[in-house]
């Protein structure tokens, strides 16, 4: 028996809906994950300016905690495991990626923010193991969030390799 599906989402002003969709950005008609990640990037700029990598990491942790609650409500209401409009997980994954730019000395460079965005989205979309495994096999709010956190870690590894390679080659971006 398939899960019960509601005809309508939670009201747009419901706190769980606002959190899960990152202020409605996940309701974009096309590419909601990418639109949600752009929103996460835009929100992350003042967070990083105000508190650097620690603020981004605390924000990612708060996104996981609040997102867990919001995702549970939204998915229970919708009857869908991982609705595309839920993008708080993209925010958490991107923000851990952005926080990793600080020890690389690149947190203040927009080129690296763009690289972080592209790397994170690439791993989130391609879903290499174990990203795809977590997406398919871990149920509930943990499953919705976990694949994006793993994609964020993969993006960090790529950015570290890229920064190390450029530093060794004496190339400054």
In tens, the pLDDT along 100-116 reads: 999 999 999 999 999 99
Q: What local confidence, expressed as pLDDT, does residue 79 receive? A: 86
CA distance 86 to 39: 13
91 neighbors 23 (Cβ within 8 angstroms): no
In a domain, 152, yes or no: yes
What average pLDDT score do residues 47-71 get? 98
CA distance 57 to 151: 15
Where do we find the tokens 């959190």?
A: 19
Question: Considering the entire predicted model, what is its pTM?
Answer: 0.93
Domain that holds residue 93: 15-169
Q: What local confidence, expressed as pLDDT, does residue 7 receive? A: 55
How many structural domains is the chain composed of?
Answer: 1
24 neighbors 12 (Cβ within 8 angstroms): yes
In a domain, 2, yes or no: no
87 neighbors 22 (Cβ within 8 angstroms): yes
In tens, the pLDDT along 65-105 reads: 999 999 999 999 988 888 999 999 999 999 999 999 999 99
């Amino acid at each position: 028996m398939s899960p019960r599906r509601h005809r309508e989402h939670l009201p747009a002003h419901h706190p769980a809906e606002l959190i899960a969709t990152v202020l409605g950005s996940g309701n974009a008609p096309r590419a909601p994950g990418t639109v949600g990640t752009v929103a996460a990037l835009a929100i992350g700029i003042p967070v990083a300016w105000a508190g650097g990598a620690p603020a981004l990491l605390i924000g990612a942790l708060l996104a996981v905690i609040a997102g867990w609650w919001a995702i549970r409500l939204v998915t229970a209401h919708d009857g869908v495991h991982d609705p595309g409009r839920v993008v708080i997980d993209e925010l958490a994954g991107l923000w851990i990626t952005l926080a990793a730019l600080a020890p690389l000395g690149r947190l203040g460079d927009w080129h690296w923010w763009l690289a972080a965005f592209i790397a994170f989205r690439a791993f989130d979309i391609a879903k290499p193991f174990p990203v795809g495994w977590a997406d398919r096999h871990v149920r509930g709010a943990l499953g919705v969030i976990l694949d994006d956190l793993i994609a964020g870690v993969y993006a960090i590894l790529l950015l570290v390799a890229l920064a190390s390679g450029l530093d060794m080659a004496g190339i400054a971006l």
